[in-house]
Structure 1
Amino acid sequence: MKIICAGLQKTGTKSIAEALRILGYNVHDVYEQFFYEKELWDKILNNKVTTEDYQQSLEDVDAVMDWPAVAVWEQIMEAFPDAKVILTIRSSEDEWYESVKNQYEVGNQYAPKSELLMKIYQLLVGSVFRRFEKQTSVFLIACLGVQRFYGTPIEAFLRSRYRQHNLYVKSTCPSNKLLIYNVKDGWEPLCNFLNQEIPDKPFPRKNIKANMTHKLLANKWEHDCGLMEDLHRRFKIFLGTLVFLIIAIISYVGMRYFEN
């Protein structure tokens, strides 16, 4: 482990993830962590994790960011004391909260409109996606104090959490291995901090206005490790099975009708 990105969600985590990939690092963002370190996160949720668990699970990973890692950034730092820490921030708290609100608005476009629809949806999408949603809610609570990125954001709670988190990272992480970083500043401060040459390409801008959500649900987000492809496949199997059953029932009723 070389880099721990300790910034909260909506602070440019997808942009810095792509920037670190361009610099040649093995990056584990949300989906890589979910699929490749699932035993580690299960141990955390069951209060059975040790420093050795972090070291064994993440030894071949260069950089982590977003949830689940940001919820336990300090424990990861203790397991890898030589790792550098990057606290991504926005230009202002207002800018960060506007980004969070926009994420909620996009999430509301796709969220089920009732608890019954949510339960039906969870039944259809399969165990992998249900597990992903469960972990999302738990780790979002740890990071932001909210269960999900749809519904109605509670502004006072979110703003308070943003302040508390940033102040805690700044006061806890040794200053000689901490970079407080705004992705708008581009390559120079990041590369200087990591002792890397500046790439001959523009700094990446990802998830602008929460467009990752649209890409993800259209199965066009390149870093979801096949999660949406699996969901779409399961949904097609369900629809095919449903159509088959409907045809079979109609055929049976029709045969019985003509027999009589």
Structure 2
Amino acid sequence: MASADLVTWIDRTKCHRDRPMEVLCLGPGRTGTDSMRVALKTLGFDDCYHGYSSVMENPPDNYLWQQAMDWKLKGKGSFGKTEWDQLLGHCRAVSDLPCVLFSKELIETYPEAKVILTHPPKGFERWHESCCETIVQLRDDWKRTLFGLINYEARLTRNTFFRSFDAFWRNDFRTNARAVYEEHCTSIRELVAKDNLLEYDVAQGWEPLAEFLNVSVPETEFPAGNDPQNFFSRFGAADRRRRQESISGILKVGAIVAVGAAIFWRIRTMQ
């Protein structure tokens, strides 16, 4: 993932596909999706889109994600290959939400891409606990919700990330997680031919992944997971940057108001 300080503001509506989409990693969040992003980039599938891409790296992506969700969830407008190529045209691979919410659409849009279905490396119960300790806790943090009211970027990114999360888990992760997870896996298996699908656990390391993608096994260690400490560290860094930008913006407005007031007062005293 890019540093929280290295934020771009690229308008994807002006972009197009400049490389083939080759890998769709469609396992739910916290099943090694961040490790998969790093692994796929190491194997040459660059860039790999991830939830962090829109949350921390290029916030304007969220405009297109909101358009995609309005289309899927509300039947509003349209969102087809042209829009997918605008949003994901710089990527050879995808992983994590919000992409996973659109698994069927991405499989149909990029039928030549290989599909990977990641499973929790430590079993369902530990995975469920991990999600509650990270994503659910972050979503339910009232301080971050309040901050979103005064910081445009925080509000924009939060709306996309948690809207896609809640939509995927039918608005109740704690209750629906197992049923939705099983339904999702069944759906992927039905949509993808067996020889084009790898069901994978990141604990398996490089070999099955490299074999499936027909690439050489790297000499480096398989990338470590996105543990809760790392997860909150990344969001914390993004929050600090946004707070600093908000403070800077307030100070600039205050300075402009102060200068304007001084000029007004000076003019009045000269009359």
Report what 1:206 is aligned to. Answer: 225
**8 Å contact 2:117–2:198 — kept in the other structure?**
yes
2:190 to 156, 160, 171: 171
1:235 to 230, 233, 246: 246
- Of 8-17 and 159-168, more deviation after overlay is shown by 159-168
Structure 2 counterpart SS, 1:169: helix
Structure 2 counterpart SS, 1:165: helix
Structure 2: tracts of 5 or more residues without a match: 1-20, 72-77, 256-271
Task: For 1:134 and 1:104, locate their aligned partners in 2 and report how far apart those are by CA, in whole Å.
Answer: 13
Map residues 8-47 of structure 1 onto 2, 5 A cutoff: 8-25=28-45, 26-33=47-54, 35=58, 37-38=61-62, 40-47=64-71
The answer to whether structure 1 residue 77 and structure 2 residue 107 are counterparts is yes
Aligned amino acid, residue 54 of structure 1: W
Once the two structures are superposed, residues 94-135 of structure 1 have per-residue CA deviations (whole angstroms, 9 ceiling, x without a partner) of: 232122232257538x9226xxx834x223222x22111111
CA 1:158–1:132 in 2, change beyond 3 Å: closer, same or farther?
A: same
Structure 1 counterpart SS, 2:220: coil
1:86 to 94, 110, 116: 116
The answer to whether structure 1 residue 144 and structure 2 residue 164 are counterparts is no
**Identical-residue share of aligned pairs (%):** 25
1:98 to 107, 129, 136: 129
Let me know the Cα RMSD of the aligned residues: 3.0
The answer to whether structure 1 residue 122 and structure 2 residue 148 are counterparts is yes
Task: Give the structure-2-normalised TM-score.
Answer: 0.73
Once the two structures are superposed, residues 24-58 of structure 1 have per-residue CA deviations (whole angstroms, 9 ceiling, x without a partner) of: 22211123356364454233133211233224443
Structure 1: tracts of 5 or more residues without a match: 147-152, 220-227, 245-260
Please state how far the C-alpha of 1:87 moved relative to its aligned partner.
Answer: 0.4
**8 Å contact 1:3–1:85 — kept in the other structure?**
yes
Map residues 55-66 of structure 1 onto 2, 5 A cutoff: 55-66=85-96
Report what 1:217 is aligned to. Answer: 236
Task: Give the structure-1-normalised TM-score.
Answer: 0.75
**8 Å contact 1:106–1:210 — kept in the other structure?**
no
